[in-house]
Amino acid sequence: MGIICVKDLKKEFIISKRKGFLTREYKRIEAVKGISFEVEEGQMLAFIGPNGAGKSTTIKMLTGILNPTSGYSNVLGLDPQKDRKKLAYGIGTVFGQKSQLWFHLPPKDTFELLGNIYGIEGLELNKRVEYLSEVLEIKELLDIPVRKMSLGQRIKCEIAASLLHRPKVIFLDEPTIGLDVVAKKNLRSLIKRINQEEKTTIFLTSHDIGDIEKLCKRIIIINLGTILMDDSVKKLKYKYDNKKIISLRYTDDIEFNLEGAKVLSQTTNAVRIEVDTEDNDIDETVAKLFKIGKVEDISISSRPLEEIIADIYSLRGEGE
Ligand SMILES: Nc1ncnc2c1ncn2[C@@H]1O[C@H](COP(=O)(O)OP(=O)(O)OP(=O)(O)O)[C@@H](O)[C@H]1O
């Protein structure tokens, strides 16, 4: 059995709205419609979907914050609702937009406080803080009040706080939101290092495709409370990336006309086309392109993962 196990998990919300003076109208929202999946220990999983897909609701059920309407879930061999307190010792959470650090205190003080809560004290706590501050590069931040930190610095301290008690699973919700390109890159490699060194299972939600591409081998895509896809990132690209973009520059002006090619942009001697490789053999297409004129430069690229995922989102919960 996996470290996280979910079967037919469902969550409905009933919301009530005042309709008339004395009457109310009730509406049922099926936020999560019976999803199933398993996560193995040490895996880095991207759990993604558009706004309102059901990601937070799922995470809240897995961390024991919300009770499911029906279905089964098990994290670290525990029932998240019945064993919520016990589970807190085995998991960590980082919500990019929320803070678990005391705003006016330096992280060192929060770490001490959390150490007390988790029963890690003295030498053991010092050792742990030392290791995490080395890995997360926050040594020089330990004595600075959180309110004086940049977002990137704060997030690194948040991650350190969530890892203090050596959790087996960490839920990262939008960890790189609002960070600049360099801070994002840096944070991703730190997360990777933690996963490799401590075998921490990483359950990541992010709207940033870079997070997914750089960190995760597996991806679960959810929309309208239903899992649209659960596959490896590699397979996802292979299965859905049947369109190639070819850019060509010819030495002389050309008369461009090629069956099966969708022209994206064109000048007198250059053209950018999209070719569906399901209907057109890529080698044959390239051979035909070389017959049109003398080629000075050619590049063939795949569609970005971002576009592939947007296409899958547009399946709108109708299944694969
Ligand atoms: N407490 C609640 N009461 C009523 N409806 C809710 C509640 N929480 C979530 N929902 C609804 O459930 C659906 C799923 O919401 P959820 O927050 O899980 O989405 P999400 O995938 O996390 O979205 P986002 O990317 O915007 O955070 C939405 O339609 C949302 O409006």
69-97: per-residue pLDDT in tens? Answer: 999 999 999 999 999 999 999 999 998 77
Which pLDDT score is estimated for 320?
Answer: 41
Say what the pLDDT of residue 319 is.
Answer: 43
Show Cβ contacts of residue 183 under 8 Å, excluding neighbours closer than 6 positions.
Answer: 151, 152, 176
Spatial distance between the Cα atoms of 209 and 305, rounded to a whole number of angstroms: 7
- Tell me, what's the pLDDT at 302? 81
User: Token digits for 303?
Assistant: 């569609």
pTM: 0.83
Tokens encoding 310:
């947007």
Query: 32 by DSSP, 3-state: which?
Result: strand
- Which residues 6+ apart lie within 8 Å of 107 measured at CB? 101, 138, 141, 142, 144, 146, 157, 160, 161
Q: State whether ipTM is beyond 0.95.
A: yes
CA–CA separation, 6 vs 127, rounded Å? Answer: 35
Distance from Cα 56 to the centre of ligand 1, integer Å: 7
Classified by CATH at the fold level, domain 1-90+167-177+192-241 comes out as: Rossmann fold (3.40.50)
What pLDDT is recorded for position 213? 87
Pair 66, 35: CB distance under 8 Å: no
Question: Given this model, what pLDDT does residue 124 score?
Answer: 93
- Structure confidence at residue 37 (pLDDT): 97
Distances (CA, A) of 125 to 116, 199, 228, 242, 294: 9, 20, 43, 52, 68
Listed by start position, the domains of the chain span 1-90+167-177+192-241, 99-164, 242-302
Q: Which residue positions in the chain have pLDDT lower than 70?
A: 316-320
**What is the 8-class DSSP label of residue 78?**
B
Q: What pLDDT score was predicted for residue 160?
A: 93
Q: Is the CB of 290 under 6 A from ligand 1?
A: no
Cα(66) to ligand 1 centroid in Å equals 12
Residue 148, amino acid: K
CATH 3.30.70 fits 242-302, yes or no: yes
List phi, psi (to 5°) of 242. -100, 15
Q: Identify the pLDDT of residue 121.
A: 83
pLDDT digits over 185-240, tens only? Answer: 888 988 999 999 999 999 999 988 889 988 999 999 999 999 999 999 888 877 77
Mutate to test the pocket of ligand 1, among 14, 27, 55 (most ligand atoms within 8 A of CB): 55
